[in-house]
Structure 1
Amino acid sequence: MMRLLLASSSPARAATLRAAGIDPLLQPADLDEDALLRDAAAENGPLTVSEAVLLLARAKAQTVAATAAARAADVLVGCDSLLDLDGEPMGKPGTADRARARWLRMRGRTGVLRSGHWVRLRDGRTAGAVSSTTVRFADVSEAEIDAYVATGEPLNVAGAFTIDGLGGAFLTGIEGDPHGVVGISLPLLRELLIGLGVRWTDLWHPVSP
């Protein structure tokens, strides 16, 4: 069995991998995401949302590759997600006021959750790609928004919503891979691994009888 190291602190990403038969090692990446995006924009011009999430996913993988945890893994995966609303990137709101303002803008509309994936093998080979899943938001009331924000759930997730938690009731539909909304697209990750010569099933962990 090969071991996968996830360069993320997201419980939802880790849970998604476990449900798919993979027991990931975990090592969050310590980096200043805002500074990275500012520097990249200053050097190359404005970034699209897809370019931003792939840049951050790659940076997370590169940062964790230099840690002791990476030596125990065969495959290292970095991920990052942003909601693309009218071409504007929306990450974690961080505060209740920002989360509420986001929902007042998003309700009744459609956005695209973009998740960057960067895979690095022990031998240094890499591959990356972005998953894009269209999300339709319900036309929720202000009272519902206030109640949701008060739970704290939307404050620390990309786009200020979840599909696998309390926020799931406020989505009317999605187009694309639902795992991409959680922040790690299993089909896309499998394709990246195949391209690097790694079989998805080699990452499955033994199931106890």
Structure 2
Amino acid sequence: MKIITNHQIILASESPRRKELFGKLGIPFEVQPSSVNEEVEGEHTPEEFALSIAKLKATAIAEKNPHAVVIGADTTVRLGNELLSKPANNEEAKKYLQQLSGKVHNVITGVSIQGLGSSLGFTESTQVKFYDLTDEQIDAYVATGDSLDKAGAYGIQTLGGLFVEKIQGDYNNVVGLPISRLFQTLLNLHIIEFDKELSK
């Protein structure tokens, strides 16, 4: 199948993982990373937090590109009532992974779509269960440097995936973008559509 669009689409993200996932749609798009401060004031649920940051990213780029559709996303990890975002350093990464060891956590991604009269957002949550980890395993993984740019201090698509016993929900959401749900949403908004020429 071929997907087409008549709109300029911008992904407001510097994440190579999100770029790769969005690229699966096969439509032209550009990347304009947003440099907004990834903090929001007040008390927020993990879903509210992720969606607020995603909207900040998308809105900042949409203001510079009024004729485009801008997509922003933000991913966080919830363990109980605690948010585990990107670790500040290796020590914090080790702490996060020790907390996640043997436990179930939720990976939550907020997605915001801004522009052309649309302002829409949603969140997707995936449940992830870790194996019991040894300090040796944690130290070896953190030493690779892979933890520092990832919520929860691990990447399921990299060596961090070796710690995952099972997941319930969308795998791509854990990577950083729930592309299936985003695809359906963009179809419903008529931002993308199937190429009817191929069906003739």
The normalised TM-score by structure 1 is 0.85
Tell me which stretches of 4 or more aligned residues in structure 1 moved more than 4 Å: none
Structure 2 partner of 1:193 = 186
Counterpart check, 1:180 vs 2:177: no
CA distance in 2, matches of 1:20, 1:10: 17
Question: CA 1:110 to 1:22, structure 2 compared with 1: closer, same or farther past 3 Å?
Answer: farther
- Pairwise CA distance, 1:200: 4.9
The one of 19, 24, 27 aligned to 2:32: 27
CA distance in 1, matches of 2:137, 2:74: 28
Query: Number of paired residues?
Result: 190
CA RMSD, 1 decimal? 1.6
- Pairwise CA distance, 1:198: 2.6
Name the aligned partner's letter for residue 49 of structure 1: P
CA distance in 2, matches of 1:5, 1:199: 13
Classify the secondary structure of the residue corresponding to 2:55.
helix
Question: CA 1:74 to 1:153, structure 2 compared with 1: closer, same or farther past 3 Å?
Answer: same
- Pairwise CA distance, 1:18: 1.8
Name the aligned partner's letter for residue 119 of structure 2: T
Structure 2 partner of 1:56 = 53
Structure 2 partner of 1:113 = 107
Classify the secondary structure of the residue corresponding to 1:189.
helix
- Pairwise CA distance, 1:134: 0.5
CA contact (8 A) 1:17 1:23 kept: no
- Pairwise CA distance, 1:139: 1.0
Matches within 5 A, 1:27-106: 27-34=32-39, 37-38=40-41, 41=42, 46-67=43-64, 70=65, 74-106=68-100
CA distance in 2, matches of 1:47, 1:161: 23
CA distance in 2, matches of 1:201, 1:153: 37
Greater strand share, structure number? 2
Name the aligned partner's letter for residue 143 of structure 2: A
Structure 1 gaps of 5+ residues are 203-209
1:38-71 deviation per Cα after TM superposition (whole angstroms, max 9, x unaligned) = 2xx1xxxx1100000011111111001122xx36
Counterpart check, 1:134 vs 2:131: no
The normalised TM-score by structure 2 is 0.89
CA contact (8 A) 1:9 1:28 kept: yes
Question: CA 1:29 to 1:49, structure 2 compared with 1: closer, same or farther past 3 Å?
Answer: same
Structure 2 partner of 1:206 = none
Greater helix share, structure number? 1
